[in-house]
């Protein structure tokens, strides 16, 4: 992971639940072989599977020392506080890890390598601090170059933050590969970067260059792929993050969009401090919004719906997928629960039409 | 200007024309009393009025020494290279200015105060380097707080970069003040900041906090104003900058939009490196796009059109305004050439309807 094989301790102090510990859950789902333990003193003694539904028997422990006893050799911050600062309570944990010579992987907006104390400890112990949100050196202003690639570019978009855009993109990529396509996943957030060994945390790029950073990634990924699946961010209806969402759309120039939604969520959850709850519009209206926004630079179609049905029982989950499919006349699935087959199939069919002689 | 009264030398080397030297032209139009000279060795000996149509007899000179002879005591970078880096050819000029103890005002994306050589010279001479694009310390995630203010928030939006969004906002603000309203101008780019003594260069803010920075500014400005006029940036149809544009819309939560366009421009000029020219849609389609995007967070109406008719003769300019007014059934004017009266009137009327008892 990020340069070498690791035995990670995932820091999720006080918040190791499926919805709060987004980064930890993502890494546990897609890179469980590189996780030694999860740190959450309020849940120590339980297993990752019990707390978060992923990671099986991987133990939850109280602190760095206990994670070391389980063989950990690196620390990754597994929760993303809104605003992206470093909670003071974590400083002792980071100090402890760095003193042991552990690399620290961080997706905070605040760069740990710029913290004099932490950088000093790392320098003495030989540990590395990997700030995943550090933007790329190269500063590109996007110019719709991604619209010119031969690969089909697909982007996951959604009704809110934390509805499953990264997961849907990863599952569709895997499913396309399983079917023999050359599919490339483009990570655009810190969790995706840990899983994919690359990418850019687009929300941390200076606004003028956010679309350009994505354009660079997509153009590079398209060189070796038939399909490029880009991890989406934010939501067009989110007052704080819609700019990031549109920058992603304009930079990636997708032709296919996968609409992601958390079944049953009717208000935007991720807008802390909003005076009134912000309603999530119906799926058909979301589709229209995303297709409208895409067309400003490069026209795109929603080709399928990915529902996160984590909180529903199996029957209700199936019914939710069926209802979404009927509402949009499109394939709809929970890619984790029921597989990404229908979404991958729709992407492959869309690609076929794009390349048909008389399309 | 930015802390004190200045006698500026405006650096516009090789590019002192109305379209290339956007910052220089803006400062000359709205703060001519604080400009001693313009530096452009290729046009030395002429006047600002001859070269750029603003600034009257203010002289164009070859270098810092010649500007000093005209009484300059500060240097402002008056052109904005795409990408925002420091052209190596300017280094000698900056060195010269800083050695004399002149403050340097810069709107480059690259921060001059972080340049070891330049910072060293400034430290020795007592000069200050003011990097206008340095983002605010405070990092806010927007949550539609600007939708709650009592003041009417108006935002200028446009068909491309460099079509007159800042100018329209400044002219409307002035005209509203002339009519007795308490109007506040919110600067969102480096030129506006030089003119307004504050604001934030939104395109330089990390994407997650771009809308939040605007929200903070609008909420603060609304405390003492009936109308807050926010300077727009970018364009929804621009592949590189549309994210910034949407962040501004979501952060400012405007109720009124002023649509700005450069008469006769039919392709986006500011997308260097685009393989194909990107057409600018008709005004009616632009209106629809901006009203659609605003409604994702806070519904808004386009209340008027500001045309930049610089390249047209008087009669053609009038005809262009009349055609735009007919096309949208809205007031349309070139606010510099014909005054911002119709735009200010429409804003005032809109505010009246907002506050009418049975609106």
d(CA B266, CA B278) in angstroms, rounded, equals 9
Q: Choose between B352 and A228: higher pLDDT.
A: A228
Check residue A99 and give its pLDDT. 98
Cα separations in angstroms, A22 against A64, A121, A268, A349, B169: 20, 28, 17, 32, 42
Q: Do residues B49 and B57 lie in contact, with contact meaning Cβ atoms separated by under 8 Å? A: yes
Check residue A354 and give its pLDDT. 80
Long-range contacts of B337-340 (CB under 8 A, 24+ apart): B337/B309, B339/B171, B339/B175, B340/B168, B340/B171, B340/B172, B340/B174, B340/B175, B340/B306
Looking at CA atoms only, how far is residue A153 from chain B in angstroms? 16
B291 touches A: beta carbon within 8 Å: no
With CA atoms as reference, the chain A residue closest to B299 would be A237
Q: Do residues A90 and A13 lie in contact, with contact meaning Cβ atoms separated by under 8 Å? A: yes
- Given a cut of 90, whether residue A271 has pLDDT beyond it is no
DSSP string over A279-297: BPPPHHHHHHHHHHHHHTT
The 10s digit of each residue's pLDDT in B29-46 is 999 999 999 999 999 999
Q: Considering the entire predicted model, what is its pTM?
A: 0.94
Decide if A208 and B237 are in contact by the 8 Å CB cutoff.
no
Decide if B143 and A204 are in contact by the 8 Å CB cutoff.
no
Report the complex ipTM: 0.93
A132 touches B: beta carbon within 8 Å: no
CB contacts, 8 Å: B242 with chain A: 211, 246-247, 250, 296-297
- Given a cut of 70, whether residue A164 has pLDDT beyond it is yes
Check residue A359 and give its pLDDT. 42
Which residue(s) pair with B77 in the sheet? B11
A66 pLDDT band, cuts 50/70/90, is very high
Please, what are the domains in chain B? Answer: 8-131 (3.40.50.720), 145-355 (3.40.50.300)
A243 pLDDT band, cuts 50/70/90, is very high
Check residue B359 and give its pLDDT. 43
The 10s digit of each residue's pLDDT in A80-132 is 776 677 888 899 999 999 999 999 999 998 999 999 999 999 999 999 999 99
Mean pLDDT by 10 residues, chain B (359 residues): 86 92 94 97 98 97 98 94 78 97 94 96 97 92 96 98 95 97 96 93 95 98 97 97 98 98 92 86 98 97 97 97 98 98 96 73
CB contacts, 8 Å: A292 with chain B: 289, 292
Check residue A207 and give its pLDDT. 95
Decide if B297 and A251 are in contact by the 8 Å CB cutoff.
no
3-class secondary structure, A208: helix
Q: Do residues A17 and A11 lie in contact, with contact meaning Cβ atoms separated by under 8 Å? A: no
Query: What mean pLDDT, rounded, does chain A reach?
Result: 94
Which residue(s) pair with A308 in the sheet? A262
- Residues 6 or more apart whose Cβ sits within 8 Å of residue B33: none
Check residue A116 and give its pLDDT. 96
The 10s digit of each residue's pLDDT in A1-34 is 677 889 999 999 999 998 889 899 999 999 999 9
B145 touches A: beta carbon within 8 Å: yes
Looking at CA atoms only, how far is residue A340 from chain B in angstroms? 29
Looking at CA atoms only, how far is residue B319 from chain A in angstroms? 28
d(CA B273, CA A144) in angstroms, rounded, equals 9
């Amino acid at each position: 992971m990020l340069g070498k094989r690791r035995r990670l301790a995932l820091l999720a102090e006080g918040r190791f639940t499926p919805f709060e510990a987004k980064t930890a859950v993502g890494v546990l789902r897609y890179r469980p072989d590189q996780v030694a333990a999860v740190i959450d003193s309020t849940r120590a003694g339980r297993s990752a599977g019990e707390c978060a539904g992923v990671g099986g028997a991987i133990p939850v422990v109280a602190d760095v020392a206990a994670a070391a006893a389980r063989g950990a050799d690196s620390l990754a911050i597994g929760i993303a506080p809104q605003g992206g600062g470093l909670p003071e309570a974590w400083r002792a944990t980071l100090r402890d890890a760095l003193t042991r010579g552990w690399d620290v992987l961080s997706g905070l907006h605040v760069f740990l390598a710029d913290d004099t104390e932490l950088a000093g400890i790392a320098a003495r112990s030989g540990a590395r601090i990997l700030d995943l949100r550090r933007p790329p050196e190269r500063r590109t202003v996007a110019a719709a170059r991604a619209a010119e690639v031969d690969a089909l570019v697909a982007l996951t978009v959604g009704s809110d933050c934390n509805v499953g855009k990264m997961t849907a993109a990863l599952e569709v990529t895997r499913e396309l590969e399983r079917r023999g396509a050359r599919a490339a996943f483009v990570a655009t957030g810190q969790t995706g970067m840990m899983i994919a060994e690359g990418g850019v945390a687009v929300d941390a790029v200076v606004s003028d260059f956010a679309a350009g950073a994505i354009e660079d990634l997509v153009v590079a990924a398209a060189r070796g792929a038939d399909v490029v699946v880009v991890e989406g961010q934010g939501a067009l209806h989110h007052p704080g993050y819609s700019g990031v969402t549109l920058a992603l759309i304009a930079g990636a120039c997708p032709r296919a969009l996968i609409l992601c939604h958390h079944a049953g969520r009717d208000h935007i959850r991720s807008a802390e401090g909003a005076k009134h709850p912000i309603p999530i519009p119906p799926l058909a209206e979301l589709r229209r919004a995303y297709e409208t926004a895409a067309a400003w630079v490069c026209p795109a179609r929603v080709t399928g719906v990915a529902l996160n049905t984590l909180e529903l029982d199996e029957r209700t989950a199936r019914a939710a997928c069926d209802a979404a499919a009927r509402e949009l006349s499109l394939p709809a699935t929970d890619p984790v629960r029921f597989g990404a087959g229908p979404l991958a199939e729709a992407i492959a069919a869309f690609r076929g039409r794009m390349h048909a002689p008389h399309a």
